Structure 1
Amino acid sequence: MPTIDTVKKAGARFYVNDARPNVTVPGVTSIVGMLPKQDFLGPWQARQAAELAVDSFGYLRDMAERDRAGAVRYIAGAARRYTEVRSKLGSRAHDVFERLMNGEEVDYVHPDIVNHVEHFRQFLAAVNPELVRAEDVAWSYEHEYAGSFDAILRIWVQVDAKGRVTVTPDRSGTPILVMVDYKTSKSTYTDVALQLAAYRYADVIIDPEGNEVPMPDIDSAAVLHITDEEWSFKGVRADRSVFDYFLTLRKTFRWVREDSKDVIGKALASSKGRMVTGTQRRGK
């Protein structure tokens, strides 16, 4: 049975369907990565390096005396190492979330995510969702992209006269299908809407065994934000207008990775060669 593989190329993730070995498409997160970097990112990276230098002054002084270049690399890598630690925490949490959502009993929880798991259990009790799909691949043949989504959930809601939505955990309200993304970062950011819109409007879902089914009609989108201190389940506008912005980034990705490679031609003239004028040619 064909399966889905992923490969990394120059920092971007690509998806490969074994049933179509010559077709490689970029991942949703790599496409969303075409957005300009947030203004806070540079100062945050600098602060990570500065705090490391101050907090480890003695250690770094000794390191610098032995290996100055190594000490510089160590300081410069502070933000990257922090991101790697957070990524591992997120992966651990996502794994347990998926198990709990599938009704599995989880006996051991890593100490770093004990509170995250407790908050996820609180979410399950407060919302009482029904799992429809989890950790499958959304694939767009039309727009050539793919991505692994966290979950499609069925939840029950009531909408009052002013349009305010209330979850009904007793399932007495109206059932809706929701594309959901789990976030364990300190904050949630607007690019999650682009991710969810990309998943929502993909053509098909492909499971780990390679089985393919059409993407169902998704009614809404939401982000489940879980930290060590708290959790929240927030609606996200991931409609066609947001999807259009994602498609613009898809074009930008193609420009950066493919189409821009050959727009500059070979030199028609340069200082490396002696220019021959028309007068000189006619004088020969």
Structure 2
Amino acid sequence: MAGVRTLQRGGSRFYINPDDGAIKVPGVTSVVGMLPKNYLTFWAAKESAEAAVTNWDIVSQLCQRDPAGAIDYLKNAHMRKSKAASDLGSAAHDLFERQARGETINLRHVHADVKPHVRWFDEFLQEIQPEFLHLEETVWSDEHQYAGSFDAIAKVDGETVVLDWKTSRSVYDSVALQLSAYRYANRIIKAADGESVDVPELAGGAVLHVRPEGWSFVPVECGPKVFEVFKSLREVFTWERDGKKGVVGRPIASGGEQETGTQRRAA
């Protein structure tokens, strides 16, 4: 985006304030990422197991020729699936933005996996008739020090709402935190020229959930109570990045015959 640059650091995305180029704040999705995700452990294990069973002929041969390669192939199974879903979502989002801006998409030039999403988004536009006020812009919170990129702010049935496009299998409850962060940010930094404008007063939020088999328009509660949880996660983000450093000091007394990690490695 022309208005706000981003950078990746330590697995998190940071936004750079275009006003001075010095202030860097974490992205909304990185903050929401502080939520515990225990289910991902089981999902990753399942993907590895399925990869082993489905491709056993390949895996068994690889085990004989390159055991380390076989381990890498299986342990990264979940990452390959996640990347494929992410790539599809990115392609669909790009097309959704073009459609929302009034562009007609020629399906002959669209990948087969994304064609249904384009058709359903067009049906959503015709059925719901949203009036788009902002598309693919960045919000910035001076008060709570975060930023993020939303899909759309639009008028729907006379109410101004923040919208998010989702192509994932389900609409997860964490999206409420994401939308609340957009809703209660201080300003929008426009991509075209970096100009800041106030975030309009929003009545709420919603997700357009687009899957190959159809679409649904889902209201999402993203009011003050939800935003309080997001702000707590913002504090957790600071703790994980910087706050926990040095909180455990050096022993002031010890006894016995404890072996240090360095001694164990030397042995």
Q: Match of 2:137?
A: 136
User: Cα offset for 1:47?
Assistant: 1.4
Counterpart CA distance in 1 for 2:221 and 2:183 is 11
Q: Match of 1:111?
A: 112
- Map 1:42-191; keep pairs closer than 5 Å: 42-107=41-106, 108-156=109-157, 175-191=158-174
Q: TM-score, normalised by structure 2?
A: 0.91
Counterpart CA distance in 2 for 1:6 and 1:79 is 26
Unaligned runs of 5+ in 2: 258-267
Amino acid at match of 2:142: Y
Q: Match of 2:16?
A: 16
Q: Match of 2:181?
A: 198
User: Cα offset for 1:220?
Assistant: 1.4
Q: Match of 2:265?
A: none
Q: Tell whether 2:247 aligns with 1:248.
A: no
In the alignment of these two chains, the number of paired residues is 253
Counterpart CA distance in 2 for 1:54 and 1:266 is 48
Q: TM-score, normalised by structure 1?
A: 0.86
Residues 26 and 145 in structure 1, CA contact (< 8 A), matched pair in contact too: yes
User: Cα offset for 1:272?
Assistant: 10
SS at match of 1:153: strand
Q: Match of 1:212?
A: 196
Output one character per residue of 1:215-239: Cα deviation in whole Å (capped at 9) or x when no partner. Answer: 1101111011001111100111100
Counterpart CA distance in 2 for 1:259 and 1:272 is 32
SS at match of 1:143: coil
User: Cα offset for 1:271?
Assistant: 5.5
Q: Match of 2:263?
A: none
SS at match of 2:64: helix
Match of 1:237 among 209, 221, 230: 221
User: Cα offset for 1:90?
Assistant: 0.2
Counterpart CA distance in 1 for 2:255 and 2:93 is 58
Amino acid at match of 2:166: K
User: Cα offset for 1:270?
Assistant: 4.2
Residues 3 and 19 in structure 1, CA contact (< 8 A), matched pair in contact too: no
Output one character per residue of 1:229-254: Cα deviation in whole Å (capped at 9) or x when no partner. Answer: 11100111100110001001001111
Q: Tell whether 2:205 aligns with 1:221.
A: yes
Counterpart CA distance in 1 for 2:33 and 2:71 is 27
Question: In terms of Rg, which structure is larger?
Answer: 1
Residues 3 and 17 in structure 1, CA contact (< 8 A), matched pair in contact too: no
Percent identity of equivalent pairs: 44
Amino acid at match of 2:170: S
SS at match of 1:99: helix
Amino acid at match of 1:181: D
Unaligned runs of 5+ in 1: 157-174, 274-284
Match of 2:242 among 226, 234, 258: 258
What is the Cα-based RMSD across aligned positions, in Å?
1.5
Amino acid at match of 1:79: H
User: Cα offset for 1:42?
Assistant: 2.1
